[in-house]
Structure 1
Amino acid sequence: MNAALFSDPLLKVAIMAALEAGRKIMEIYADDDYGVELKGDASPLTLADKAAHEVIMQALRQTGLPVLSEEGQEISYAERSVWERFWMVDPLDGTKEFISRNGEFTVNIALIEQGCPVLGAVYVPVIDELYIGQEGKGALLIRAAASEACAAVSLPYGGGAEADGVYRVVCSRSHLNEETLAFIEGLRTEHPEIEIVQRGSSLKICMVAAGDADTYPRFGPTMEWDTAAGHAVVRAAGKRLVVAGSGDEVQYNKENLLNPSFVVQ
């Protein structure tokens, strides 16, 4: 276990915020009425998204740093462009997975410095697992994270999952398109044995960070808050989330918060 990770006060705040948001989400998950409504872009919004947002905002306020959240008020680029350090939050990543009750949704909290995710917490409420990572200090998977019996395992630094000769590609459960399939076919020259695994939310990024998958290609729209926390964990585990075709690391707090197509590897 990397004790240095737990000594950072900002990471402690992020962890407690993620766990409390997960608890609120699970209270609503156990109910019959999620209060589903559609946002302006036709994506779903539930009572759980709102409740998690409120919990996280309350926790992060104590740090004095600004917060950019998917469910928060719109903040102009003129205002946020001068932020050198801020929180980027997706209170409930994988709302469609939440509604379909497959358990593949997460709470994502990241600290961004100069456009780069330097600290992140990704919590999976249904299985009570927490991925955390911090630049220069490594990454951990904490099982039974909300209980006194929690146990932390260091994520392997660098390397891939291809120990058994199978190259594992993790893809979106909801957005497996032709570009992604073409990318996977292109991998077969180097990796004849490919297994495709489909997951929801930022779990895909965490699978690469943990060495449970070799790569995650995403050729489709995502927002910065979808990837920031997982990106921080991946970076801390010695891996990268890069713009597809260029190899440049994905940046944050752009004027347009839409991510480019990317590959995690």
Structure 2
Amino acid sequence: MEQKYLFVAVDAALRAGEKILSIYNDPSSDFEIERKADNSPLTIADRKAHETIAGILKDTPFPLLSEEGRHMDYTVRKDWRELWIVDPLDGTKEFIKRNGEFTVNIALVREGIPVIGVIYLPVKQELYFAEESLGAYKLSGITSLPDGVSVDKLIASAVRLPQPYSRDRYIVVASRSHLTPETEAYIHEMRQQHDNVELISSGSSIKICLVAEGKADVYPRFAPTMEWDTAAGHAIARAAGMEVYQAGQDVPLSYNKEDLLNPWFIVEKKRVNH
């Protein structure tokens, strides 16, 4: 059953990516427009991606919470045991800068815990996908689902996460657009604890994927994010043996809260006392 919904989410993410790229690659698109201005290419890409995803996920039994959709009041949402949490286009600044570091994020959340996650990078044709019992995977060079493909075949052609990267540095991944003083203080603290600390910057939910993949050791986020920014990455991280902890606590982020704003968090390997 879970495999079926993972497959649906992958299909939705790839199709949304195709819609986004048709706008992103249009030479007449001008991204020097005020963010989210009506009918800007960005807004159109957001909306087209949302419509594509919503159209596919409506055939599942679960309600949808999307950044671009209508946000149901908590009096309705609180009774949702399972729901999709979606960001049709994560990485606004990256989209406008045309650096390719934007993503499509789709998660299935059960009882506040993300159990399925799909993140697609349309420009780089990279797909991260996970289901808690199957594990986390990365597939490169994919733009659509071939006819007759199954989740098993997808997994067979993907690499399992995390990958074994050997290195002599402790790698911190941080936001390209939101490096706060608190984050800088955390990085300074890591430099006291580790001999050789390297900082890498990235946009959108790719940062969580880099930790899940094993390319980075930790991702501290001491700046605002919403549930749709992290739910898909959180599912991928969990399935790869990582966790997204509330900063300063041993408690993971939870979802479908009354307030959809996330607390500050740290993505790292699951702590041994858990």
The one of 14, 20, 27 equivalent to 2:22 is 27
Instruction: Give, as a single letter, the amino acid of the residue that structure 1 aligns with 2:159.
Output: V
* Structure 2 unpaired stretches of 5+: 147-153, 269-274
Aligned to 1:186: 189
Give the structure-2-normalised TM-score: 0.88
Taking a change above 3 Å as real, the CA distance of residues 262 and 98 of structure 1, as seen in their structure-2 partners, is: same
- Taking the TM superposition and a 5 Å limit, the aligned residue runs for 1:1-265 are 8-31=3-26, 32-33=28-29, 36=33, 38=35, 46-146=43-143, 151-156=157-162, 163-265=166-268
Give the drift of 1:122. Answer: 0.2
| CA RMSD of superposed structures (Å) | 2.1
Could you list the structure 1 runs, at least 4 aligned residues long, displaced by more than 2 angstroms after superposition. 32-40
Instruction: Give, as a single letter, the amino acid of the residue that structure 2 aligns with 1:191.
Output: H
Q: Within 2, Cα distance between the matches of 1:122 and 1:107?
A: 6
Identity of counterpart residues, as a percentage? 53
* Structure 1 unpaired stretches of 5+: none
Give the structure-1-normalised TM-score: 0.91
Q: Within 2, Cα distance between the matches of 1:74 and 1:255?
A: 11
Taking a change above 3 Å as real, the CA distance of residues 34 and 225 of structure 1, as seen in their structure-2 partners, is: farther
Instruction: Give, as a single letter, the amino acid of the residue that structure 2 aligns with 1:58.
Output: G
Instruction: Give, as a single letter, the amino acid of the residue that structure 2 aligns with 1:165.
Output: D
SS at match of 2:192: coil
Give the drift of 1:47. Answer: 1.0
SS at match of 1:46: helix
Q: How many residues align?
A: 254
